[in-house]
Amino acid sequence: MRSSARSDASSRAQTLPSTPTSSPRRTPTSEFIAECFMRRAYLTGFTGSAGTAVVTKDKAALWTDGRYFLQAEKELTHEWTLMRSGNHGVPTTSEWLNDVLPSGCRVGIDPFLFSFDAAEELKDSISNKNHELVLVRGMNLVDEIWGDARPEPPKEPTRVHDIKYAGIDVPSKLSFIRSHLTENGCDAVVISMLDEVAWLLNMRGSDVPHSPVFYSYLIVEVSTATLFVDSNKVSEDVLEHLEKAGVKLKPYEAIVSEVERLAEKGAKLWLDSSSVNAAIITAFKSSCDKHMKKKGKAGEKVEKEAYSDEPTGVENGALNAVYNVSPVTLAKSVKNEAEIEGMKNSHLRDAAALAEFWCWLEDEVCKSVPLTEVQVAEKLLEFRKKQDGFIETSFDTISGYGANGAVIHYRPTPEDCSSVGSDNLFLLDSGAQYIDGTTDITRTVHFGEPSPRQKECFTRVLQGHIALDQAVFPERTPGFVLDVLARSSLWKIGLDYRHGTGHGVGAALNVHEGPQSISYRYGNLTALQKGMIVSNEPGYYEDNSFGIRIENLLLIKELNLANSFGGISYLGFERLTFVPIQSKLIDVSLLSPSEINWVNDYHEEVWDKVSPLLSGDTRDWLWKNTRPILDVTHRYSHAQDIA
């Protein structure tokens, strides 16, 4: 699945009420959220995944980005002004607030829905017009309107993620975190990212669509650990699992008072202010202030500029905290052997489901059976459900025929979608959550005769895909260095795509995870490391015409090369995804011999790995779709004939 589509959603900075950002009662920084947290959709009618709603006494405006302009135009009523973020002359939310409000207003946010950093940024930017940022505690204004009609928060049971898939037990993971605490002179860390809690505790849940996580917080102290979760979600099994690891339970809502208690004790906290919400961090700071004032003690060295509702006064909350990225983030991204094994196995089963699906779809379309994009996605789900360990989809399937394929974030609805035919390209980006792994794959096919233009574009995308797949790079290389490899074949004819090339993927966890990425944006300096998983998904989108994307998941591995200049490791990729790439769409004359070999080798590998899981028509389909394309010898001897 396209990386930037979702990663944009998690980087929204200045947002107001209904956008989920951080945690409790309420919502954590997640790409997918439970219905009761879909406050922006309830308030505005706009159902896109990224946006910001701002309401003043006489105005209401909604910001969203280019992926959603058309959808927002359709869904918003006339009371709302649509702000097309990124378009020339369109103000940011804070610029707009500074413009429409008279100087010295009070701007409210729900502090559980903003990370501390995002709240700080908003506070700073509106202070230019002397506006004050007010953290509205104890109530959410949208919920007040929503009232009884608001859905209940999810109460889904959690489960233990088996050690055979998790690979490392909870006590070992906790000691790892504790060694980090000690190294940094901290007494405790607050973990608020749901996938980090799930990874650290070898637990999974289903509070949220597509991600096997559950609403919770975790505080790890040097000798204890406390999970803040609705106890109804915790079965006997899970309880025993937690007890064994020395993890206590407290109610979900107790997080703030617990943080205040730590402040009173004088504990030094590790806080990732980019993910922990403003409610928790400001509560900690105020509590430190109160406590320190009582003790009249001057603080230690300030780690980061202090935050305070009152700009003057002692700011001891800053003195008792280390603001740093969560110690779980990198650890989670580097997969252990069991996680890798689970990812490999689940990808093979997923490949079997996809082979059945593509075989079926090709047949249906050839027989001219009318099928909508939604029906096709539903059928794919049926095939996946038959696979062992299937849980759910890992994101909303992007099933786009023809021009719909060019809408990068397209999501068909039963009321408004196309039929899949044989006159144009069909782009299908989908993934699944299995008990042992998470998948994400895109293929683009044509069931009739592709145009030379479509073949040229597809082949250029494929060349980019191959170039990245085959890349070898020294350790400590950030992902953005490799991005150009996926684009240069398109650039040669003046084409490009407006999204990143690769995102991290969790092991039986979120389909998008950091910290690594492969993107044309140069901001992410995280080095690609052995054991990380990334997607490889270059594309090309011709507006109102067609879309192309080819996506596999890749595992980063250390290579054993003839040399190792500089005495360092050289890394490369191992493919996890094994589904045929439609040969019909390849213009072989554009490929180099080594690119032709790549396609043939990949298809041979697909056949070898997936055919044992198939039988009958599907096996025949796989055989047909993994035959070598025009081979090198043939091609050049032909060139000789005509020379």
Footprint of a copy of itself on this chain (CB under 8 A)? 470-474, 478, 481-485, 488, 490-496, 498, 520, 522, 525, 559, 561-566, 570, 592-594, 632-633, 635-637, 639-640, 643
Tell me which residue of 4, 106, 100 sits closest to 49, measured CA to CA. 4
Q: Which two tokens stand for residue 367?
A: 């027989």
Closest CB to a copy of itself among 385 and 453? 453
SS3 content of the chain, % helix, strand, coil (to 5): 40, 20, 40
Closest CB to a copy of itself among 373 and 456? 456
Closest CB to a copy of itself among 623 and 636? 636
Give the burial class of 434: count Cβ atoms within 10 A of its Cβ; 0-12 exposed, 13-18 middle, 19 or more buried.
Answer: buried
**83 DSSP β-pair partners:** 63
Closest CB to a copy of itself among 322 and 632? 632
CA distances from 252 to 26, 160, 230 (A): 10, 19, 6
Give the burial class of 576: count Cβ atoms within 10 A of its Cβ; 0-12 exposed, 13-18 middle, 19 or more buried.
Answer: buried
- Where are the strands (E) in 530-616, listed by range? 533-536, 539-542, 546-549, 552-558, 570-575
Q: How far is the CB of 428 from a copy of itself (least distance, A)?
A: 23
What's the CA gap between 494 and 477, in Å, rounded?
Answer: 27
Say which residues have a Cβ less than 8 Å from residue 328's Cβ, sequence separation at least 6.
177, 191, 193, 196, 199, 200
CA 331 from chain center: how many Å?
17
Closest CB to a copy of itself among 381 and 484? 484
What's the CA gap between 532 and 555, in Å, rounded?
Answer: 6
Closest CB to a copy of itself among 59 and 634? 634
Closest CB to a copy of itself among 44 and 85? 85
Q: How far is the CB of 474 from a copy of itself (least distance, A)?
A: 6
What angle, rounded to 10 degrees, do the helices at 452-469 and 593-610 form? 80
Closest CB to a copy of itself among 235 and 564? 564
Closest CB to a copy of itself among 389 and 572? 572
Q: How far is the CB of 444 from a copy of itself (least distance, A)?
A: 18
The C-alpha angle with vertex 239 and arms to 235 and 240, in degrees rounded to 5, equals 120
Q: How far is the CB of 536 from a copy of itself (least distance, A)?
A: 15
Q: How far is the CB of 484 from a copy of itself (least distance, A)?
A: 5
Closest CB to a copy of itself among 266 and 572? 572
The amino acid at residue 75 is E
Q: How far is the CB of 25 from a copy of itself (least distance, A)?
A: 42
Q: Is 62 helix (H, G, I), strand (E, B) or coil?
A: strand
Say which residues have a Cβ less than 8 Å from residue 171's Cβ, sequence separation at least 6.
244, 245, 246
Instruction: Indicate the DSSP class of residue 372.
Output: B
Q: Which two tokens stand for residue 366?
A: 């050839």
Closest CB to a copy of itself among 129 and 635? 635
Q: How far is the CB of 637 from a copy of itself (least distance, A)?
A: 5
What's the CA gap between 268 and 277, in Å, rounded?
Answer: 18
Closest CB to a copy of itself among 38 and 632? 632
Q: How far is the CB of 233 from a copy of itself (least distance, A)?
A: 45
Hey, how many other C-beta atoms are within 10 angstroms of the C-beta on 575? Answer: 17
Say which residues have a Cβ less than 8 Å from residue 441's Cβ, sequence separation at least 6.
350, 354, 429, 430, 431, 551, 552, 553, 577, 579
Q: How far is the CB of 3 from a copy of itself (least distance, A)?
A: 18
Q: How far is the CB of 470 from a copy of itself (least distance, A)?
A: 8
Q: Where are the alpha helices (DSSP H) in 135-235?
A: 141-146, 163-166, 170-183, 194-200
**Torsion, CA 477, CA 479, CA 485, CA 488, rounded to 10:** -130
Closest CB to a copy of itself among 286 and 463? 463
- Count CA atoms closer than 13 A to 51's CA, side-chain side: 32
Q: How far is the CB of 287 from a copy of itself (least distance, A)?
A: 34
What's the CA gap between 67 and 87, in Å, rounded?
Answer: 12
Q: How far is the CB of 552 from a copy of itself (least distance, A)?
A: 19
In sequence order, what DSSP letters do the residues of 377-402 get, joined into one string? Answer: HHHHHHHHHTSTTEEEESS--EEEEG
Q: How far is the CB of 564 from a copy of itself (least distance, A)?
A: 5
Closest CB to a copy of itself among 312 and 563? 563
Closest CB to a copy of itself among 86 and 370? 86
Q: How far is the CB of 181 from a copy of itself (least distance, A)?
A: 28
What angle, rounded to 10 degrees, do the helices at 593-610 and 337-366 form? 100
What's the CA gap between 643 and 638, in Å, rounded?
Answer: 9
Q: How far is the CB of 522 from a copy of itself (least distance, A)?
A: 6
CA distances from 291 to 186, 301, 318, 485 (A): 18, 17, 13, 55
Q: How far is the CB of 493 from a copy of itself (least distance, A)?
A: 6
Closest CB to a copy of itself among 179 and 592? 592
